[in-house]
Structure 1
């Protein structure tokens, strides 16, 4: 009887152990590991952990040896009977050497196989860094320099190129549109950092896969995906975040919920942020302080003293982000994904225009951007396994986007307020395919079509009488921009140590602009213009890893940027006393680049990743003096202004060196550091050479990170070198109001540093607290080319609750 009782107890114990789920967790953080693959010796039986790291082992026997594998963690093996507390802990690999990336070909590839340098940042890293906007997310990659003209902004610079020479994508759809300009852009802040799953920044040209604009790099944002249920019951997960920052009195709330069934899943996300005026640091150049500002009192403009000259008035604004996703998986390897994205800001001041003086008085009473609105509807169909002779994997994407922006400005004690509003309707369709041609060869190819329609209006309002009259618009109303392209890329991997990738793309771009409405004011010698131009671009690169210690990359590429509506048809005041007018005689600009990289890995304890590059930009589109009907000056917004236009009037040479270092001091303690050196010259048609405008100063950061159990600490320093007056581009030298003044009274960009401390504590599976003290020594600094000073000492606290 005792024997039977013991046998029954054993059988019940075994059954119980197998019928209950286990959790896969990261060893140092206790965070769940999603996507871990569990298999036996034969590899016939396998399963995968869900988003919470949960997996059932019912398919394995009690004494069977199982293997737990994940690209970012060391493979673990053990018997089912050896699992303690229903938990398996995985140890992370240093830096995720076998990391998967998507942006290089639109399909998943091993990062080791890509000849270009790609920097990835995960949702976990984003949550720890606690960024206020997605511009701050990019800055956290270590290779992207961020310029800001106002707090509601963030214009990326990569390897000496910026704005419309860089491409932004969201879930595979390009955000760049027909009015992306050469001046600083803030569209990236429309992407909600709370809902980003991962970000990939491709350094260098990406025109073969992404077409026009991808000259200096591609910034790919991938948002969270709805999660299906792994059982017959409903899967539910939700997150709520509350955050406060002291420097701009930020108040942020975020919530997202996921409902998952067997074949259907739904994800909803909402974020709201309210920013007050930004306080700069106490110690630094006095040129940056804000001693006074303009207020309108009883219909009159008056200059009032700033109670606290360290507070930049006005810089506050608020923003709301909404996302709705639907995922449908009718059967294995078939997925349908619908995404709806919407974001809007309040009006916000362009701070760099409000600190300009005209003589002894502030020039502007009002200079605001209206609400920046972005909507996208995106439908993506993916099939990941096929017996077709044409493809193994196929992905079709169609998207509609609507962009809205506006500008409102009025000079001090002047009644006329200029209001200019723009909108772009953007349609796109992409077909991307992958085919395994053999054991060593993969083919990626695809087609793309893009259509943009631009609406632009101009109104002049008399703020005293309320009378509205039409005026010149920023862009030719009703203009359109189209792109048709086909591309192909081949990956050849003769052995695990060597990879060759090459590709080619052909792009045809058609631009139509009608200046009939604006000719009432401009009297152009033409009423319409059309650009119909094509471009071939190509890339070829090798990645050689002869052993575990050494990795070499060599990549050559060409890229192009076709003129858009902003280039050929924009009318705006580029600087005090100058106006940019349309130019119908433009050609594409071409970039030819070469990059060489070396990675040294000393037993996963020390990693050095270095790269050097050179880019030649031909037919560079730049702003230069121009004549309109023989006149070098015209009256614009009531002021006699020098005439300028965008022209193919220069060539540029850009070069640089990047280094990243990671040292594993102990399992818990790591030292990370990165540094960027960028140089460049621009030569005009007359042979005059000047510094490159968007070549950032040398910049870098060093982090000392300690991570153990539920606690993570990061003590780090950010630093920038100086750019003297003669190192500034001529256009920057003319913006004395933005820069500090040297001993000779000339503008320059001083060096700066900040010391910072960041921590995160995971109380339990549901609650975590992230806190940062940034710029501890309260430095007053302004990043190069920025019109607003960065935050002074700043305490940021975020509380996250997960259901």
Structure 2
């Protein structure tokens, strides 16, 4: 009897284990049966997929994540189940019991969403000008979060595709393939920013574009002279701001307010926009204000020199004299702070077979100190007491007309007018005369492009031109007496102009997995300048008249050489 009772616990344990195994097998079979019934769901917002969104069945506890295209194969659910759809930056969606079957789950962006701007390298642009004649060696796309972006320079540098030259906090000069300044073409919404006073040295004009208004930035690496001219010898940086959209019915109103703070420079920014959408018209109004305080440098120096880079002394004006005073906060780079306002208004009207887009932009800054020159020395004393860029203003009006024809042909014309004002203000240490050099540039621009297909060929051809007028002046002001006199101008004091125009054509064809491209461009440039004051410089002829023309071409082939390798061959000329 004692032996029987000794086996009883083992028998009971065996029975319980068998029951558990049977239950588990039944659950597994049931689960396998349910897994066989799945429904394809697409999670998106405004037609765009939301990658890696989470779908949860609160009744069964089943949860799955969508793929990079926003698609999730979710186990079928009963009419009494509740689904919850979540993704960072979007409002949670709840599908309550009784909801009719659906295949698309639409999420709305949350008010605190961290927006992103796409920065694409070697991507085809979808505006009046493209790089169809340039081989795409690589296409790299980076998303830069707007909330951590202070300037357009931060957008470009954050992409990892562009190197920036920043000699001061307000400096935003892109470098592509070692080329900079007037060898890199800056474009905003299809309008060339490069003008007659873009020099071989650093240019800061990219900073006049509002980073909060940018929707996408295309960076085209390589000599793009065939379709853009000599300004694009190093490459192209194309900023595209938010375009107005149409509604499917009725009028829609959307608004957004964004604020930003930065502890490194004590800066802050505010941005507000209102978008109106109607079936036949759309409008986007945006305003931004950014304030940058003096920049604070870090205290950690791995090289061991604890004093490297410290600003130990500042120049102050006391009792009518320049004096050096000790900087109580040497880790503060002073002066580097400035402020900037950006305004933009875009309106688009829908036509029967196209649209008309009106784009108005205005940007203005306070004085922007040039911090790097304060390191210059004459003996033991600083070379400069003052050196800053005056308020930099850019106003642009652009009108785009696009019309579609039968056969897939599209004609796009863009006319623009830009007014740019720049100045330099500088005074040497221990001197009383402050030199102010002022430049006003007015630029008229026009581009007309026709695109289409003829059988297997994709064709593009067009004309473009720019007409620049430059007024340059300079004054020397005695800061003690207020007396003013003449000073040397940076450009021709009696006025100058630069006119450029070009005609281009390109073709592209795919043969199997091979792609062939080719293009031609003829460019002509004329420079006229008149010098009157010969106090600082005497020329053999005070009237300058130069005209040059050039024919450039490019060709490329792209094709696979193995299942895992692709070859690109490109030949291009520039001037």
Q: Partner of 2:50 in structure 1?
A: 26
Residues 474 and 88 from structure 1, CA distance in 2 versus in 1: closer, same or farther, beyond 3 angstroms?
Answer: closer
Task: Give the Cα–Cα distance (whole angstroms) in 1 for the partners of residues 198 and 350 of structure 2.
Answer: 36
Residue correspondence of structure 1 range 586-601 to structure 2 within 5 A = none
Residues 589-634 of structure 1 show CA distances to partners (whole Å, capped at 9, x for unaligned) of: xxxxxxxxxxxxxxxxxxxxxxxxxxxxxxxxxxxxxxxxxxxxxx
Task: Give the Cα–Cα distance (whole angstroms) in 1 for the partners of residues 120 and 173 of structure 2.
Answer: 30
1:313 paired to 2:334: yes
Task: Give the Cα–Cα distance (whole angstroms) in 2 for the partners of residues 328 and 104 of structure 1.
Answer: 17
Shift of 1:462: 0.7
Residues 536-593 of structure 1 show CA distances to partners (whole Å, capped at 9, x for unaligned) of: 1111011224677433322111112xxxxxxxxxxxxxxxxxxxxxxxxxxxxxxxxx
Q: Partner of 1:433 in structure 2?
A: 450
1:520 paired to 2:544: no
Residues 463 and 105 from structure 1, CA distance in 2 versus in 1: closer, same or farther, beyond 3 angstroms?
Answer: closer
Task: Give the Cα–Cα distance (whole angstroms) in 1 for the partners of residues 435 and 414 of structure 2.
Answer: 39
Match of 1:534 among 543, 549, 569: 549
Q: Partner of 2:412 in structure 1?
A: 395
Match of 2:490 among 463, 474, 480: 474
Q: Partner of 2:8 in structure 1?
A: none
Residues 264-284 of structure 1 show CA distances to partners (whole Å, capped at 9, x for unaligned) of: 111001110111100111123
Shift of 1:436: 0.6
The secondary structure found in structure 1 opposite 2:231 is coil
Q: Partner of 1:150 in structure 2?
A: 168
Shift of 1:141: 2.5
Task: Give the Cα–Cα distance (whole angstroms) in 2 for the partners of residues 395 and 537 of structure 1.
Answer: 23
Structure 1-normalised TM-score? 0.56
1:556 paired to 2:571: yes
Task: Give the Cα–Cα distance (whole angstroms) in 1 for the partners of residues 570 and 257 of structure 2.
Answer: 43
Q: Partner of 1:115 in structure 2?
A: 135
Residues 353-390 of structure 1 show CA distances to partners (whole Å, capped at 9, x for unaligned) of: 1221111111211111100111110000112x3137xx
Residues 233-281 of structure 1 show CA distances to partners (whole Å, capped at 9, x for unaligned) of: 2112222111001110111000111001111111001110111100111
Please provide the CA RMSD for this pair.
2.7
Residues 26 and 107 from structure 1, CA distance in 2 versus in 1: closer, same or farther, beyond 3 angstroms?
Answer: same
Q: Partner of 2:479 in structure 1?
A: 463
Residues 81 and 102 from structure 1, CA distance in 2 versus in 1: closer, same or farther, beyond 3 angstroms?
Answer: farther
Task: Give the Cα–Cα distance (whole angstroms) in 1 for the partners of residues 170 and 373 of structure 2.
Answer: 14
Residues 554 and 537 from structure 1, CA distance in 2 versus in 1: closer, same or farther, beyond 3 angstroms?
Answer: same
Q: Is the 8 A contact 1:105 1:444 kept in 2?
A: no
Q: Is the 8 A contact 2:295 2:337 kept in 1?
A: yes
Shift of 1:296: 1.5
Q: Is the 8 A contact 1:117 1:202 kept in 2?
A: no
Task: Give the Cα–Cα distance (whole angstroms) in 2 for the partners of residues 425 and 96 of structure 1.
Answer: 29
Q: Is the 8 A contact 1:103 1:200 kept in 2?
A: no
Q: Partner of 2:524 in structure 1?
A: 508
1:493 paired to 2:517: no
Q: Is the 8 A contact 1:120 1:201 kept in 2?
A: no
Residues 187-231 of structure 1 show CA distances to partners (whole Å, capped at 9, x for unaligned) of: 000011111111111111111111121111111111110111111
Q: Partner of 2:371 in structure 1?
A: 351
The secondary structure found in structure 1 opposite 2:505 is strand
Residue correspondence of structure 1 range 322-361 to structure 2 within 5 A = 322-331=343-352, 333-361=353-381
Match of 1:409 among 426, 433, 441: 426
The secondary structure found in structure 1 opposite 2:373 is helix
Task: Give the Cα–Cα distance (whole angstroms) in 2 for the partners of residues 359 and 402 of structure 1.
Answer: 42
Q: Is the 8 A contact 1:119 1:202 kept in 2?
A: no
Residues 428 and 500 from structure 1, CA distance in 2 versus in 1: closer, same or farther, beyond 3 angstroms?
Answer: same
Q: Partner of 2:384 in structure 1?
A: 364
> Where does the alignment leave 5 or more consecutive residues of structure 2 unmatched?
1-44, 55-69, 71-98, 109-117
Residues 103 and 309 from structure 1, CA distance in 2 versus in 1: closer, same or farther, beyond 3 angstroms?
Answer: farther
Q: Partner of 1:220 in structure 2?
A: 238
Shift of 1:523: 2.0
Q: Is the 8 A contact 1:369 1:408 kept in 2?
A: yes
Residues 155 and 99 from structure 1, CA distance in 2 versus in 1: closer, same or farther, beyond 3 angstroms?
Answer: closer
Larger Rg: 2
Match of 1:166 among 184, 199, 203: 184
Match of 2:144 among 126, 134, 139: 126
Q: Partner of 1:294 in structure 2?
A: 315
Structure 2-normalised TM-score? 0.78
The secondary structure found in structure 2 opposite 1:442 is strand
Q: Partner of 2:405 in structure 1?
A: 386
Q: Is the 8 A contact 1:508 1:532 kept in 2?
A: yes
Shift of 1:129: 7.0
How many aligned positions are there?
Answer: 474
Residues 119 and 169 from structure 1, CA distance in 2 versus in 1: closer, same or farther, beyond 3 angstroms?
Answer: farther
Task: Give the Cα–Cα distance (whole angstroms) in 1 for the partners of residues 548 and 496 of structure 2.
Answer: 17
Q: Which moved more, 1:298-307 or 1:216-225?
A: 298-307
Task: Give the Cα–Cα distance (whole angstroms) in 1 for the partners of residues 483 and 122 of structure 2.
Answer: 60
Q: Is the 8 A contact 2:128 2:414 kept in 1?
A: no
Q: Is the 8 A contact 2:552 2:574 kept in 1?
A: yes
The secondary structure found in structure 1 opposite 2:230 is coil
Shift of 1:88: 8.9
Q: More relative contact order in 1 or in 2 (CA 8 Å, sep 6+)?
A: 1
